[in-house]
């Protein structure tokens, strides 16, 4: 079962968005890495998820996407395509994980993440 691992808020002004969520909700933002500000939304002992804020790319300039953790990103991409999803960004490799972005058959964007 794929579990929601986090979220991503896309904005054309990520610095301003990071400041807003810090002031309004008390979120703590890390220094940007790859143009992504990881945010902590609360203590680990409380239910909820953490996420991040990034400058939205041309293919997703504004909005919120969830990231779903999978055991095999290749299998998940294949299964999603077989069920009508399209790839927005194919599998990308980062230091500790793989990440891909897709759009489901209804137009909702989501990310797939596989830890190494």
The residue that leads in pLDDT, 62 or 73, is 73
73 φ, ψ to 5°? -65, -35
The architecture that CATH gives domain 8-66 is: Roll (3.10)
Q: What DSSP designation does 60 have?
A: S
Helix or strand or coil: residue 41?
coil
**Domain ranges within the chain, ordered by starting residue:** 8-66, 70-116
CA atoms of 113 and 110, how far apart (whole Å)? 10
| 70-116 shares the fold of 8-66 | yes
Give the DSSP H or E segment for 10.
Answer: strand 3-11
The residue that leads in pLDDT, 4 or 1, is 4
Q: Tell me: pLDDT of 69 over 90.
A: yes
* pLDDT tens, residue by residue, 19-54: 999 998 899 999 999 899 999 998 888 888 999 999
Q: Tell me: pLDDT of 58 over 90.
A: no
86 φ, ψ to 5°? -120, 150
Q: Does domain 70-116 have CATH number 3.20.170.30?
A: no
Average pLDDT score over the chain = 92
Q: According to the model, what pLDDT value does residue 84 have?
A: 93
């Amino acid at each position: 079962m794929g579990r929601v691992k986090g979220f991503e808020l896309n904005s054309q002004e990520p610095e301003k968005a990071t400041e807003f969520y810090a002031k309004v909700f008390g979120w703590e933002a890390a220094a940007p890495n790859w143009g992504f500000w990881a945010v902590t939304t609360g203590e680990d002992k409380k239910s909820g998820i953490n996420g991040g804020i990034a400058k939205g790319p041309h293919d997703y300039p504004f909005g919120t996407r969830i990231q779903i953790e999978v055991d095999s990103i290749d299998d998940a991409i294949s299964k999603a395509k077989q069920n009508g999803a399209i790839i927005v960004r194919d599998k990308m490799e980062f230091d500790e994980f793989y990440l891909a972005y897709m759009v489901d058959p209804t137009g909702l964007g989501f990310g797939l993440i596989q830890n190494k």
